[in-house]
Structure 1
Amino acid sequence: MDSPLRVLHVLGHRSFAEIGQPVLAVPDEGRGLLAVAGERGFAQTATVAVYGTGNLACRAVLRTRFPVHALAFHPTAPLLAVGTGEYDGGYFFEGELLLLDWGQGCPTRRPAP
C-alpha cells in the first residue's frame, strides 16, 4: 500500500545546517577551522558558526541582530571577531562588533562599568 506521506527535506541533515544559507566564510588553516556566516532567517537574526575543517563538526554558534559583513580569527586566542551592521537607507548605520569564544562556545561579555 502506498503511503500519502512523502519526505521532501530532512531539516538539519546537511553541512552548515546551523546557519542557514551561507553568505561569508573565513578559514583558519593553521587550526583547521572554518567560520561561516548565514543570512537572516525566520527569527530575523543572522547566525555565525565555527566548524572543524576535518569533519565539519560545529564548535560554536552565535546569533546576531544585524547582517554579518566581516569575520576574522584572532591569531593566537580562541576568538572570532564578527562585524555586523546595516544602513537605514539614509545616513544612519547601526551595528556591532562581537567576539565569539569558539573554545568555550559562547560570546564573550565585557564587564559593565
Structure 2
Amino acid sequence: MRPWLRTFCLVSLLALLITGCKNPLLRPTDASEDIKGILYEMASSVEKEEWKNAAKQHQRLKKAWKQMKTRVSINASQDDINDFEHEMVRLRGHIKKKDAGTALAMVYGLQITWEDLGQL
C-alpha cells in the first residue's frame, strides 16, 4: 500500500471515530464524577419527595461538577458552563422550598444540558 493512501485511510478512520463518539472528556472516572447518574438519582428522590435525599444528591452534584468543570470547559462555551451552574443554584432553592414540580423540571433540564455538553 502506498504511504499516502495509508495515511489517508488512518486520518479518515480517526475522523469517523471522533465524529461518531460522544465527548470522552465527560465520561466519569469514578462514581463521584457521574453527573448523569447523580441527576437520575436526584430525579427519583424529588419524584418521591424525599427532600433530605435530594439535598444530599445536590451536594454530590456540586462536588461532581467541581471535578468535571475543567474538562467540560475544554469544549463548552463559558455561557454553557454558567447556565449549568445557575440552574444548579436555582435547583437548590426549589429543593429547599420542597417545590417538587419545579425541582423535577429543573433536574430534567440539567439532564438535557449535560447530554448537550456531551455532544460538543
Q: TM-score, normalised by structure 2?
A: 0.29
Which structure: greater strand fraction?
1
